[in-house]
Structure 1
Amino acid sequence: MPKKLSENICEAATFERIYNKHADDVHDFLYYKYGAQFNPRDKVQDAFIKLWDNCKKITLTKAKSFLFTVANNMMLNEIKHQKVVLQHRKINPKNHNNETPEFILEQEQYLEKYNKILSNLKEEQRVAFLLSKVEGKKHSEIAELLGVTQKVVEYRIYSAFNILKKELEGFKIK
C-alpha cells in the first residue's frame, strides 16, 4: 500500500506502523554501537515517546531520522551520566571528625582496658555476657545454647556486669 506524504504521525495506526517498521532497527543500531549495558530497548521506547510528544511537528518522512537521532542522543547522555557517576565514586570524601586527640586516646585506652577485663573474666561469665550484650540473644536462648538454666545465665551475666562496673569508670550498658 503506497504511503501518503500527508499522513499524520499523531494517528494511532500511522504511529503503530512507524513503530513496527523502525523499533527493531533503532534497537539494533543502539545495541551494536553501545552494547547492552545502557539498556538500548529502554532508549528505543523513550525515543518513540518523544516522537509521540512531538508528532505534530514531525513529518512522516523525517520520523526515522528523528528516532535514530533522539535515541542516539539519549544513549550519549546516559554515557555522560555514567562517567559523572564514576568520577564521583572515585572522589573519596574527607574524613573529618570533631573529636580531640585526647578524646581519641582516652577512647582507645578505655577499649583496651575493657578488653583486658573481659579477657580476665571466667569463661562462663564472658561467654554469657557477650552472647547477651554483643549478639543480643535472650537469656532463654543462651541457656539453651550453653545447656544450663536461665537463672544460671542471669547470674553469670550479672556477675560479669558487676566486675566490669567495678573495674571500669562510668561503665553502663543499656
Structure 2
Amino acid sequence: MPKSLNDNICNEVMFSKLFKKHYQNLYSYLYYKFGDYLNPEDKAQEAFTKLWQNCGKVTPEKAKSYVFTVGNNMMLNEVKHHKVVLQHQQTKPRSHTNENPEFLMQEQEYLQKLQRAIGNLTESERTAFLMNRVEGKKHKEIAALLDISAKAVEKRIYRALSKLRVEIEEL
C-alpha cells in the first residue's frame, strides 16, 4: 500500500496549512499559561521551526501535539533559566575575608617595609631584582637587556636578596 502525500509534512503546502491552523492556538496557549514575559511568540515560532526540522519523523496527525509539547518544553526551560538567573542575582559576593584585622595590618606593614627596602637598594640591584622577581625574566634575558653578563645579574640579585633579608628581618 503506497503512502499518501498527507503522511509527509515536509511538503511546504502541508506544513503551511498546519502552521496557519495551529500557530494562533499554540501562541494563545503559551501566552495564557506563561504570560508575555517569556516571549511566547518566539517560542511558538521556534516550535514550528523544530517541526520543520523533524518533518520526516512527525506524522500530520501528531503534528499539533508535537508543536504544543515542544513549545511548552521551551517555555519550561526558559522558566528554569530565569530561576537560575534570579538565584545568581540574589547571591551577594563576599565583601569580607576570613583574615582578622591584625593579620591585614601586619600585611600592610610588611608591604611598606618591603617597598622601603627595595627603595634602599642600588639602582643596578633594584633593576635586576625587579626584572627577575616581578616581571619573571630569566637571568639571561636580564643580561641581554642590561648588556651585562649573566653572572653579573646573578650577583646583583643575590646582593639585593641579602640586603632585603637583613632590612626586613622576616624573610
Structure 1 length normalisation: TM-score? 0.64
Cα distance in 2 for residues equivalent to 1:151 and 1:20: 81
Deviations 1:4-24 (A, max 9, x none): 7xxxxxxxxx6xx346665xx
Residue ranges of structure 2 left out of the alignment (5+ in a row): 28-38
Correspondence 1:120 to 2:120: yes
Give 3-state SS (helix, strand or coil) of 1:148's partner: coil
- In the other structure, the counterpart of 1:98 is 98
Letter of the 2:88 partner, please give it.
Answer: R
Cα distance in 2 for residues equivalent to 1:20 and 1:89: 45
- Counterpart among 33, 38, 42 of residue 34 in structure 1: 42
CA displacement at 1:112 relative to structure 2: 1.2
Mapping 1:1-150, distance limit 5 Å: 2=4, 17-18=8-9, 33-34=41-42, 40=46, 44=50, 48=54, 60-61=60-61, 63-90=62-89, 91-150=91-150
- In the other structure, the counterpart of 2:160 is 160
Distance 1:88 1:121, change over 3 A: farther
Compute the RMSD of aligned alpha carbons: 3.6
Deviations 1:82-141 (A, max 9, x none): 323332332223344332211111111111111121122222212211221122221111
Distance 1:75 1:154, change over 3 A: same
- In the other structure, the counterpart of 2:32 is none
Distance 1:67 1:170, change over 3 A: same
Give 3-state SS (helix, strand or coil) of 2:50's partner: helix
Cα distance in 1 for residues equivalent to 2:11 and 2:114: 72
CA displacement at 1:67 relative to structure 2: 2.4
Structure 2 length normalisation: TM-score? 0.65
Residue ranges of structure 1 left out of the alignment (5+ in a row): 5-13
User: How many percent of aligned residue pairs carry the same amino acid?
Assistant: 31
Cα distance in 1 for residues equivalent to 2:50 and 2:119: 64
CA displacement at 1:154 relative to structure 2: 0.7
CA displacement at 1:71 relative to structure 2: 2.3
Deviations 1:40-83 (A, max 9, x none): 59x828x95xxx6xx8xxx741x211221122123213322332
Distance 1:20 1:166, change over 3 A: farther
Q: Is the 8 A contact 2:124 2:156 kept in 1?
A: yes
Give 3-state SS (helix, strand or coil) of 2:127's partner: helix
